[in-house]
Amino acid sequence: MFYGVIMWHCFDLNHKHRRLGLLACTTLLLLFTATPFALGMGKSAGEGMAMEPAEQDSTATDSPIILKLDEAIKRAEAYEPAYAASQAESHAAGLERWVARTDLLPGVTYHNQGLYTQTDRGQIIPRFIANNAIREYSSQAVVNETLGLGRLASARRADAAAARAAAELEIARRGLVTAVTNLYYGVIAAENKQKIAERAHAEAQDFFGLAGKREQAREAAHADVVKAQLQEQQRGRELSDANVAAEKARLELGVLLFADPRTPYALVAGDGTEQMPSRAEVEEAAGRNNPELKSALAAVRVSNAEVLAARSAYLPDIGLNYTYGIDSPQFAVNGPGPDHLRNLGYSASITVDIPVWDWLATEHKVKQSEIRRKAAQVALTSAQRRLIARLDEVWSEAVAARNQLDSLDASVATAAESLHLTKMRYASGEAPVLEVVDAQAAYLNAENAREDGRVRYRTAQADLETLMGTM
């Protein structure tokens, strides 16, 4: 209807202005026609771009995602690039192992070939003596197998390399678990410290008001008000820093967990009452499930296979061949003529190549592989020593952190009582302002120290479980 009105006005112009009017009306129609299409395309593109983050994670308008530690670790495994690279390397090593094993099996090919050879005029003998006839056709199934120590050594090396890649993948996973655990409990501690800073700031404001009232009642000097004001300003700056620290901690963890680090989430702190395993259980599990030790052992097996492969050059390889098909002047099962000789047949061969002299190249390759094997053995003993040292370190850290939890709780309770009593004494005029300020600082430090102690214990316990392979 709208387009019809436009066209009617355009054709209603007089002859003099009709051409110019038609050009203007055509442009106007194109604009009105293209605008809804462009808007539709823009809307579709905008919807597509907006849907992609929504499909992956919750947006800012949704409720926060509730995460436990194990859920956070699973999310991090999907977004952390180093772990993804280790996982890809492990899968590639598994495929390489399959390829190396298939090299031990015979290979089958279907060979087809047609040859034509130039001849002298009037003769039926081909010019190339290597060819059997002027026209020669081959259609054969060929089975080849090579028996040698080198292929066996390659298969062993691929097996050991796959085991080493699997151990390296476990090392990367445990490193990721450690990083996520530290960030996870770091975020919880930062949020708790943020609340502590808010309470401390409110406490400082209350004390500033109390000092002002006592000054007005001529019960305190103006210096007390100045000191309380300075304390309130300091607590305000500390609250601002705590807010920034909490936001940084959340973003650092969000980088590992979400496609959009700004995705809202909430963490479950847990009660931290898990029982620690015994020292014997830790030693037994750590010795059985240690990926560093497994990687070092696999590296030694790789070096042993390389030594075997280098020494295999001293021995001959045996080649077996079986061919079945035709190799004749006719592409047919039977030949021409009354006899119809059968072209279809088989042949078999055995080849033995005995190495005689290679200018000592094999000897030097053997020495190179033996040198690398010694280095791998040294790395294995070093991994064993590191395992023993790390076991003692992690155990001692976990025990010390657990033993300090009760002491930290007691310090917070004592500091809170000290602050309460000191404020009562100040209100009655029995304590100076400096004692109140010191009591406030002591209470704040005790609460922050308790949060640090909780993080220390939870991360130490996670390190212990990671070392045992149960996390």
Q: At which residue do the structure tokens 């497994």 appear? A: 294
Q: What is the pLDDT of residue 273?
A: 59
**For the packed helices 149-216 and 69-79, what is the interaxial angle rounded to 10 degrees?**
120
- Is residue 220 a contact partner of residue 18, using CB atoms and an 8 Å limit? no
Q: What is the pLDDT of residue 158?
A: 96
- Domain covering 69-119+135-468: architecture: Up-down Bundle (1.20)
Structure letter (DSSP) for residue 275? P
**Alpha carbons within 13 A on the beta-carbon side of 244:** 6
**Alpha carbons within 13 A on the beta-carbon side of 15:** 0
Closest CA to 404 of 323, 444, 364, 460: 460
Give the angle subtended at the CA of 282 by the CAs of 277 and 286, to the nearest 5°.
150
Closest CA to 304 of 382, 364, 366, 381: 366
Q: What is the pLDDT of residue 41?
A: 38
Three-state DSSP state, 342: strand
Q: At which residue do the structure tokens 């809170």 appear? A: 416
How far apart (Å, rounded) are the C-alpha atoms in residues 112 and 141? 9
Torsion region of 327: left, alpha or beta (phi above 0 gives left; psi -120 to 50 gives alpha): beta
- The tens-digit pLDDT sequence of the chain (471 residues) is 444 444 444 444 444 444 444 444 444 444 444 444 333 433 333 333 333 333 445 444 568 999 999 999 999 999 999 999 999 999 999 999 999 999 999 999 999 998 888 887 667 778 787 888 888 899 999 999 999 999 999 999 999 999 999 999 999 999 999 999 999 999 999 999 999 999 999 999 999 999 999 889 888 889 999 999 999 999 999 999 999 999 999 999 999 999 999 999 999 987 665 678 888 999 999 988 899 999 999 999 999 999 999 999 999 999 999 999 998 888 888 888 777 788 899 999 999 999 999 999 999 999 999 999 999 999 999 999 999 999 999 999 999 999 999 999 999 999 999 999 999 999 888 889 999 999 999 999 999 999 999 999 999 999 999 999 888
Structure letter (DSSP) for residue 334? B
Three-state DSSP state, 386: helix
Provide the total of helices (H) and of strands (E) in the chain, helices listed first.
10, 6
User: What residue type is 417 in one-letter code?
Assistant: E
How, if at all, do strands 345-353 and 65-67 pair?
Answer: unpaired
**Alpha carbons within 13 A on the beta-carbon side of 296:** 18
What's the chain's Rg over C-alpha atoms?
A: 41
Cα dist. 433→54, 414, 418, 441 in Å?
Answer: 54, 19, 14, 13
Q: At which residue do the structure tokens 């479980």 appear? A: 465
Three-state DSSP state, 66: strand
Q: What is the pLDDT of residue 388?
A: 93
